[in-house]
Every structure is written in structure tokens, then in C-alpha cells.
Structure 1
Amino acid sequence: MASRLRMFALAATLTLAAFSARAADIPRFEVEVSWPKPLPNNWILGQVGGITTDKNGHVWVIQRPKSLTDDEKGASLNPPRSKCCIAAPPVLEFDAEGNLLRSWGGPGEGYEWVGREHGIEVSDDGFVWIGGNEANDNAILKFTLDGKFVMQIGKIAPSKGSNDTTQLGKPAETAIDKDANEIYVADGYGNRRVIVFDTNTGAYKRHWGAYGNKPNDDKQAPYDPNAPVSQQFANPVHCVKIASDGLVYVCDRINNRVQVFKKDGSFVKEWFYEKATLGNGAVWDIAVWPDPKQTWLLTADGENNEIRVINRDDGKVVGTLGRSGRNAGQFHWIHAMAVDAKGNVYTAEVDTGKRIQKFKLISDALK
């Protein structure tokens, strides 16, 4: 009897140890309430249209100066309405401690600046890509890290539809495939596709819609969780991310799903999240976890205002972060997010949120 009890206790201990080890592997976070540090020059952020991290662990933000109210930008009015504040430049770079390193952006010679800033990506070879989603923001722009213009793909002009190869449709976000010298565009708020260009020449490569099929721009019925699943992406196609094994993850925001593809556009699988969600949808952004196997994905949900931690193999949710609210660690329209090599998560909010936050990794989830 005593022997059986010892065996049972040992089995229970091993099971608990295995469970504890597994729990330690799942990413968990705590908010850094003092991040970032106060901006200089009496600056203030507007709606934050995008956020990303670079190979140095720096955080890049694109924000919307025109989204500020007169009350918020009172010091810039003529005559000044109040002591604070002045709109910060659209593009800002921070270090991991929250110090502002540089800033730039806005109209300039040789290119067309977007009307409403949306999406930012920094390539390992030192270029910054930005886009926009105002009515005719049908282009993406390439700059050096210091803001020198390099290239424009598309024009600030009316869209030509989801199968045109020269013009975009209010693109939401981009992802860089550095080995292939390609940029993937979640295109977007106007079109219903992913489209790929050469990062050096801007040449068109390929595009596809939901399930890898040819996209179309026919009017779609409003999202209904009880209806058959849509065979087209809804607007917006809000994000695209590439994993190291070549899988491409796409946010079909209003349809509450992630679709997974190969790089050639071949459909692999899809996952649905909070399928009953209406409004602005439940899948706003994706970040790939930086462990060697890229075990997890993080998905941002701006309607339910949470981040989900999901298993990249099967899409199952293993944890969540945040809730609706305006306190530190909460969200109001979490719009975009990024993760650095140390597992720290950075978030960006639009609408009345108008802020960025940092969440420090506190579990052992990088092995």
C-alpha cells in the first residue's frame, strides 16, 4: 500500500512539474507603465497607425498628426489655445527603454505623402516602408532610416481595383521577405488581396485573394456569424506576416479569421476567433513569436481589446492579455502590435486611444 502511495505521489509530482514547465513556456507579460518616456518639444501623439521593431530592438511608430483635436494640439494654434501640445512628426523611433531616437515624415519633394498614415515596416537592410488608408492613399513609400525618400509604389490617386498590378487600394500593412527581396502588402481597406512587389525595383510579382483565389470587388453582405464563410476577404485585409518556415499569415479582420498561405499564394488553412464579434472584427494584427521554432503567434483584437496567444501549429488559444479600458495594460482599439527578439510586446492604439504601450515578457518562453 505504501509503495503504491509513493508511486502515486511521484506520478502526481511529475505531472505537476510537466504542467508547470509547460505553463512557464507560454508567453506572459506585465505592462511597463512608464514606457515610453515623455516626448520632447511639447509633442503629443495622435492615433497610432502602425508599430514595428527592427533588428536592433528599436521600436518604430507611425502616427497621425491630423487626428489630434484642437484641445490636444492647443499650443500649435494661432493664437495658442493652451500651453500644450504640438503634433509630433509622423515617424518616430524609440529604443527599448522608451527614449526617442529620431523622428521625421510628412510631405516632401519627389513623393506623395499619404493622407492618413497606416502601417510601418523596417527592413534588415535599413529601409522604412509606410502606407496610408485615406480615400486615395493607394501607394506605399520607401525611405532610409533618416527619412530620405527612395521609392514609391502606386499613386495617391483613385484605386483601379483588386486585380490591377500598378496601383494599391488603401494598403494596411506590409511584411518583408529579405531572402527573396520581396514586400508583401495587405491591400487592404480598398482592395481585397495580398500583393507582392520587388523591394529593390518595385516590380509587381503576384497577388491573391481569400483561399488563394482571384479576388473580386463585388459588394459583400455584412458579416453574419451564422452565414456560410465568405469566399472573399472583407475590407480591411488588415495585416500580413511571414514566418521563418515560409508560411504567410493574413488578418481578415471583419471575417474574424486568420488565413494561412504559402509564399506563392497557395491556401493552407484558416482559424476563426470570437466568431460572433461584429463591429470592426476580431483579428487586427499578428506577431510571430521570436523563439527558434516560432512556437506562438500573438493576435491583436481591436474590437474585444485583447491580445491572444495562440499555438502556431493548430491555432488554439493558450492565453490572453488585456481588456477594454484606458488604464495601463488595457486597450481602446488596439490597432497594431510588434514583438522584439527578447519577447517584449509593443502595442499601438487608434480612435481615442492615441498611445503606445510596452509589455515585458515575464515567463520563460524563448527556448
Structure 2
Amino acid sequence: MLIFFQKDDYVGVSVPTPSGYVFGYEPLASYDRVHHYMLYGCEKPYDESGFWKGQGKCGEGKAYILYVWARNAPDYELPEGVRMSIGNKGDDIKYLVLSIHYGMPLAGNTKDYTGVKIYMTTQPPPMLAAVYALASSDDLPPKLDRYYSNMSCVYNSSTPIHPFAFRPHTHVLGRIVSGYFLHGNEWTAIGKRNPLWPQIFEPINRNLTIQKGDVIAASCHFTTKERTEKTYNGMGSGDEMCNYYIIFWWDASLPKPEVAGQVCWDSNTDAMSKYPVDGWKPMPPNVEFDDLVHYNKEPFGVSQEAFYSEIDGFKLGQVVGLAFCPNGHLLIFRRPANAMGPSAFDSNNVLTNKTTISEAVILEINFNAHTPKITKRLGENKFYLPHGIYMDSEGYIYTTDIGSHTIAKWSVYGNSISQVWEAGVELQPGPGKDEFCKPTAVTRVKDSVFVTDGYCNNRVVELDASTGQWKSSFGSLGDSHDQFNLPHDIISTAKGNLQVADRNNGRVHEIRIDGQHLAVLEADQYKKIYSMDPSSKHIFVAPDKTDQYDENPLFIFVARTSQALTEYAFGPEHKKKFGIPHVIRVSKDDEDVYIGDVGLEGLWKFKVRFFEKKV
């Protein structure tokens, strides 16, 4: 989705409910981008179109709160044997509606793909679960060190309920939120928490039972001493809220409690006058939680910093490869404009123009200066059609040349390079053990060099890093989990595994260095990809157009590594578009993104504004 948000904007999304029983929720969200969201089960959605702007949630009929996320809360899994019924007879839930609150607009040309992954089973459980919410509509007077907003309702159902988790919610003025229930004259704590911490559903490690006639109560302690005017109760990030959510279970053989999915807005003054004092006592400090949760005062997004068609007066041409040096500089692997056209190879994949490029094809760029500077120009008269490049921690450069069908290791001496070894038969493509056919990319892990032998052989080849001798290979043409259809890029991860961009299959493989398949990342947003690069928590994917007639602008898609689902995307600003985003690399600090564009013949630089900290 692409929405140009204003401050405190809301978006609603609905989908028909599958039939089953929910046992877990995995949020795909960040507090840098999203203030909070709520998942509802509805008989009818607010808008039949399935997508709308505004605070609308459910339409006519029953509405149930299923899940709430805020402040970088982690995944949530229900206890064993406890499930939430959706899409089944009698639960009145025919649609799932996700209502997302964006506190600020997104910077740059950034798309957001916030959502939630729902884990379900078709097996009916012995215990069913639901959410009961208590909410206050109080406005907050200014200049008070303490203000208490209270809520309480009598439980009138005959079916006993058993709270097993709770979750507080305020905005920035809340200091403590607690919940209790009153049975006879005895108060029993449900739980309390600092609402400025990650707003998780905190487990209750006690067996609790609420029966008919009991009073369920909650209270929020606010501090408004820094406010000079009344703070209104409302949905905006500058407003305040006081909510307390309880997840409870009941015996699935008994009638559904009336409070399932409902909200208590009342406050029994007499009951609250006896509310336990401990419910208002502050929680002890938690440095870890305080550090994990932050809300940026500036919008999150990925902003275009520059597009370079030349640096220091040197025309970049087709930027096909990128790599970082140990000193933090960027290596650009380039070829002159129009170096590769439709007649570059004959029908046997043999290069037609067997003349090396006379210009420097490797540029070392210092982007730390106010204006980028070329610090080295390397590789004159040594390459035919450059493609992939990598520099190891010792300063050796590894390159692939699709024109000569070779891989080479180079040592750098001042402004020149010297070949250490070359693998493959120069200008002779082939499928053999000592041959390559248009190899696309290269990386190093420990004592091995790994090459995507891409355009013809559809395999990954392992070479000895010291000698260039063949060690092993894996992969073949196809679309199964251990096959490729043009492996176009390869990188090594922090864990020592490999990631391979499977271009025409539109996916990223994560593979152990022995060739064992670990995982695959693919998404509905793209069908082909050129390149990818992982940051500390995400993977950045540069897609290819679906076909030559596709006029839709390309975006870079960013997925959280642990989930392999698209989280956000970004593209050029000011009505500009990517041409062919051939290679992407992300700086070590996760802030700078460089994209080599073969179509526009240059280099893009983007800045990631504010990364989140997550539980």
C-alpha cells in the first residue's frame, strides 16, 4: 500500500476470516513507523472495499477485540490448550479488521506494510479465549503530579472466566496501569505494568477465577505537571487514553461470556474508593525496557540523498557491482555506457567484442567527506564485462567478468591491482568443473570463495580462497528449494551463511556453505530480483521488472530477517524512478543504502531515518 500520511492518520484493512482457532500473533510493525494497531473480529467490516482511511473498524453487527500492539511489543502466543475462535459457527466473526494508527507521516517516498501474522489450527480446543477491555473517557487536568482515571464493571455472566494475561495502554503521560477484581470484600490483583514499557500481553502466573457478581476494575496513574492545558481523551498521539485489556479463557463446553470482546466504560465510585493502594505504586525502573521503547520526534522513512551520474568529473556509466572496503569506503564496479547490448554475446554465449575496457572499472569512493571523492581508480585494460565485486577483510578484491567467464582475486598496490589467481577459461564459457558461463557475483566465507555461476549454469561454485582451485558446487536450473533460475547476487551473512538472489524465481535463498538449504524469502510484491543485502535486522531486496512492458515504478523492499515478510519499501523522490537497480549494498551502521543503476547509469544513495529497537 502507498499512503501519504498526515499526523495521526488512521488506515483500516479487512479480509474475510478463515475458519479456525488462533494460538498466536506475530506483529510486523515498528514504533518508529506505527503508534499502535488493533485487530478486530467483525460480523461486517466498516467498508466493504477492504481498505479505507479513518478510524472506522467494524460495521453493523458484533465486534470483538482480538489483539492489540504498541511500543515494539514482541510476539504473543496463547497458553497450551487455549485458543481464540474465528470464522466458526457461533463466534460471529466473519471478517478480520486491522486498524492502524500512524502518529507521523513517513519521510521520503516510503511505503509501509505493517501487519500481523496470525497462527491458527483447525483443531477445536478445550478452552476458548477472548479479550475484555476496560476504558476511561476522562480528560486530564494540567499541572498535576498524580491523576487517577478509574474504570469498573460488574461481571454478570454465569460462565466463570479465568484471566491469564493483561495489557495496559496509555500514551506518554501514563505512569502505572493496574487491574483487580473484587469478590465479596476481597480484592485480587490481575496485574500492573508501566505503560511506557513495551505494551505486551503480560502473562499472569496465578490461577484466577472471576464469577458472576464480581467487580472487575482498573486504574491509570497519569502525571500532567508538564502540561499547561487540559489533555483530551482521544486517539491522537497528543491526546491520552486509559485502557486495560484482559485476556481470559473459559471452558469451551459452557456458554460464551457476555464480556467476550466487549468494553467496560463505567466506574463504580464506591468500589473504586476501596481500590488497593498497591495498584498505584510505581514499578521499579527497568533500564532495558526504557531503552527498547522510544518514539522518534521526526518521521521514519528512507530519504533519497543523491543520484550520481559522475563523481569527481568521472562518468560512472553502468554501475554493476558494489562492495565496502575495510576502511568504510565504497568500491564501485562499473563499465562504460552501453558496454553491454543485445549483441554482446553470440548464440553460444561467447563474447563478440574481445577487447578489454581501457578505462578504470574499479573506483574507491570516500563518502565520509562533504562531497564524495574518488580515492583510487583501478583495473584499466583488465576486464571485458565487469559484473560482481567483493573485498575481504585483508583488502583483497574478488571480481566476476561475464565477458571473459572468469573469477579473479586481486591484490591492491597503491593505484594498481595485481592478479593473484584467475578461475575459469578466459573467453570460453562452459559447464565443467573448471569452467564458468557468465558468473555474476562473488563473496568469501573463511577459506572459501563462493561464486554465483548464474546466466547459464545456475549453480553456486566454491573455490579455494588462496589458490582459486575448485572445491565444490551445488544447484541446478529449476524452481525447487535447492534450484536456481539465474542466481544473480551472493552475499555472506553475519552467521557465516550465504544468501543468493534467485533472479527469475523472484526469491532469496539462505544456504549453509555446504549447500544445505535453510530458508527462502519471497513476497507478493515482486516476481524477479536483481540483488539483496542484509542489515543487522532487515534484508533489503532490489527487484527486477516483471516484464519489459511493466511501467510501474520499482521500489526497494525491506523485510525483517526473522519473519521474511515485507515491512516497508522505498524509492526515489521528486517523480524520479529507478532504471535497473542492479546491485544494492547497506552500510555497516544500517543507515546508508547504495544502489547501482545500470539503466540510468549511475549510483543512488539513500539515508534510512531512525531504526527501531525491538524486544
- TM-score bucket (shorter structure): 0.7 to 0.9
1:206 maps to 2:472 = yes
CA gap of 1:258–1:101, structure 2 versus 1, over 3 A, is: same
1:31 alignment partner AA: Q
Q: Which amino acid aligns with 1:197?
A: L
Question: Using the alignment, how far apart are the partners of 1:326 and 1:117 within structure 2?
Answer: 31
Alignment of 1:109-124 (within 5 A): 113-124=382-393
Answer yes or no: is the 8 Å Cα contact 2:489–2:530 preserved in 1: yes
Stretches of 4+ aligned residues off by more than 4 angstroms = 14-24, 35-38, 228-231, 323-326
Q: Trace 1:1-367 onto structure 2 (pairs within 5 A).
A: 2-4=149-151, 11-13=169-171, 18=198, 21=293, 28-33=301-306, 39-40=311-312, 42-65=313-336, 67=338, 89-96=360-367, 97=369, 98-107=372-381, 113-134=382-403, 137-145=404-412, 146-161=416-431, 164-177=432-445, 180-209=446-475, 215=476, 232-234=483-485, 236-274=486-524, 277=527, 281=528, 283-289=529-535, 294-303=536-545, 305-322=554-571, 327=576, 330-343=577-590, 344-351=592-599, 353-365=600-612
Residues 271-330 of structure 1, C-alpha deviations (whole Å, 9 max, x = no match): 2233773xxx2x2111120xxxx3211111132622111111221111111169973xx4
CA distance in 1, matches of 2:339, 2:427: 25
Equivalent residue number for residue 68 of structure 2: none
Other structure's SS at 1:147 match: strand
What residue ranges of structure 1 are gaps of 5+ in the alignment?
A: 70-86, 108-112, 210-214, 221-227
Give the Cα separation in 1 of the matches to 2:430 and 2:339: 31
The DSSP-based 3-state class of the residue aligned with 1:191 is: coil
| Superposition deviation, residue 54 in structure 1 | 1.7
Q: 1 or 2, which has the higher helix percentage? A: 1
**In structure 2, C-alpha distance between the alignment counterparts of 1:306 and 1:22, rounded to whole Å:** 28
State the percentage of identical aligned residues: 21
Structure 2: how far apart are the matches of 1:88 and 1:67? 14
Whichever structure has more strand as a proportion of its residues is 2
* TM-aligned CA deviation for residue 47 of structure 1: 1.0
Give 3-state SS (helix, strand or coil) of 2:606's partner: strand
Distance 1:38 1:255, change over 3 A: closer
**Cα drift, residue 230 of structure 1:** 8.1
Deviation, 1:348, is 0.2
User: What is residue 112 of structure 2 aligned with on the other side?
Assistant: none
CA deviations over 1:325-351 (Å, ceiling 9, x no partner): 973xx4111000111222211110013
1:133 positional shift: 2.1
Give 3-state SS (helix, strand or coil) of 1:3's partner. Answer: strand
- Normalised by the length of structure 2, the TM-score is 0.46
Query: Which amino acid is 2:311 matched to?
Result: L
Structure-2 separation of matches of 1:197 and 1:149: 16
How many pairs does the alignment contain? 307
CA distance in 1, matches of 2:597, 2:579: 7
Q: CA deviation at 1:94?
A: 0.2
**Alpha carbons of 1:176 and 1:295: their partners in 2 closer, same or farther (altered >3 Å)?**
same
> How far 1:91 moved relative to its partner?
0.9
Q: CA deviation at 1:122?
A: 0.9
Secondary structure in 2 matching 1:106: coil
2:584 & 2:396 partners in 1: Cα distance? 19
Deviation at 1:15, TM superposition (A): 7.2
In the alignment, the residues of structure 1 paired with residue 389 and residue 500 of structure 2 have an alpha-carbon distance, to the nearest angstrom, of 16
Deviation per CA, 1:221-243: give whole Å up to 9, x if none: xxxxxxx8687311x21011221
| Structure-2 residue corresponding to 1:78 | none
| Unaligned segments of structure 2, at least 5 residues | 1-135, 137-148, 153-165, 172-193, 200-291, 341-357, 546-552
Could you tell me the TM-score, scaled by structure 1's length? 0.74
